[in-house]
Amino acid sequence: MPYTPIVATLGYVLSPDGQRVLMIHRNAREDDQHLGKYNGLGGKMEPGEDVASCMRREIREEAGIECVEMRLRGTLNWPGFGKRGEDWLGFIFVITRFEGTPLASNPEGSLEWVALDALDALPMWEGDRHFLPLVFDTDPRPFHGVMPYKDGRMVSWDVTRL
């Protein structure tokens, strides 16, 4: 059977001094699978979009800013991650320059600047703690991870860098 994941982007916007990252606290919708957790910004790719265009659109929609400079840090395959067990394939970006002032909130929750060294203290998906260090490290090689989920929990984690 062919693998047909939901394709999405996930971006982490760095502050101009590179010490903080813009995170969304998913605290606005009671039916949100991510309710109470902190996450980067992003979402599903639309037909006719490439991953970079998707990332720019999602950042514009969710934070009200324009990406000026961004780098693809890696890819993540999340089998079974969706609300109904759907598979997801994510392209993970770090946005190093932007124009505009980020919104304070959006329909999914409040936007907050968080110090990079304080990320680990936030409530987030268990798996995020495994790949976030790879997003912000200085290794120029992209990472490619597989992180299966079952019943809302990470089952395993495997990553390579090329």
Show the domains of the chain with their CATH numbers.
6-157 (3.90.79.10)
The model's pTM: 0.95
pLDDT tens-digit series, residues 62-86: 999 999 999 999 999 999 998 899 9
User: Do 51 and 91 touch, CB atoms closer than 8 A?
Assistant: yes
pLDDT tens-digit series, residues 21-40: 999 998 988 787 778 899 99
Spatial CB neighbours of 63, under 8 Å, sequence gap ≥ 6: 13, 22, 41, 102, 103, 106, 111
pLDDT of 87 reads 97
Radius of gyration of the chain (CA): 15
pLDDT of 29 reads 80
pLDDT of 11 reads 98
pLDDT of 152 reads 85
